[in-house]
Amino acid sequence: MENIDWLFYEKQLSQKGFKNQCGVDEAGRGPLAGPVCAAAVILKPGQIIEGVNDSKKLSEKKREALYEIIKKEVLSYSIAFATVEEIEEMNILNATMLAMKRAVENLSVKADYAIIDGNRIPPLDIQAEYIIKGDAKSMSIAAASILAKVSRDRLCYEYAEKYPQYGFDKHKGYGTKLHIQAIKEYGPCEIHRMSFLKKILNND
């Protein structure tokens, strides 16, 4: 573990009287296909989960193992999505905020404060703040980042079976060379975000 205080924000909030602060993060804003996923996590007081870090810094195998540990050990967690249709209807930023709002509201233990990774706060009925690069600074946000990333990746493996020509198991929907080639060859499928494909489809 890096030499940072992973509970700095959580401890500050506890001192202010907030008992159930949740960390919130998302996965899947950038891909060309599939929903955006968000997760919210409430830790037990003072809880450090060994090995938890920003999900982007962990191997897939490590994330998978931590996913099960986090779900079992934290006080409460929730995973939520905003669909491709919602992304198209309200744009990716608003859809991400919607997924985060759903994740917070679906927690089995009601959160009294939310710390959000990034630079925006979704419309919540509790107090909240954002933390830029929060997934590398806060244990609860880092745990949420792992839940969101693994949940979305697992969905992409299902897509790979349903739409084998696109290789979703390899690129998870991101705009890799392989994925763009497949879109040009086979055309988009029903889980593609059409608003993200304009440049690709116009370049033919």
What integer pLDDT is reported at residue 1 of this predicted model?
A: 45
* Dist. CA 130–CA 67, nearest whole Å: 23
* Dist. CA 1–CA 58, nearest whole Å: 12
What integer pLDDT is reported at residue 117 of this predicted model?
A: 98
> What does the pLDDT profile of the chain (204 residues) look like in tens digits?
457 899 999 999 999 999 999 999 999 999 999 999 999 999 999 999 999 988 889 999 999 999 999 999 999 999 999 999 999 999 999 999 999 999 999 999 999 999 999 999 999 999 999 999 999 999 999 999 999 999 999 999 999 999 999 999 999 999 999 999 999 999 999 999 999 999 888 865
User: Kind of pairing, strands 36-42 and 76-82?
Assistant: antiparallel
* CATH fold for the domain made of 8-156: Nucleotidyltransferase; domain 5 (3.30.420)
* Dist. CA 10–CA 23, nearest whole Å: 9
Tell me how long the chain is.
204
* Dist. CA 157–CA 168, nearest whole Å: 6
Angle at alpha carbon of residue 77, lines to 75 and 79, rounded to 5°: 175
Task: Give residue 51's region: left, alpha or beta (phi > 0; psi -120 to 50).
Answer: left
Task: Judge whether 27 and 70 are in contact, CB under 8 Å.
Answer: no
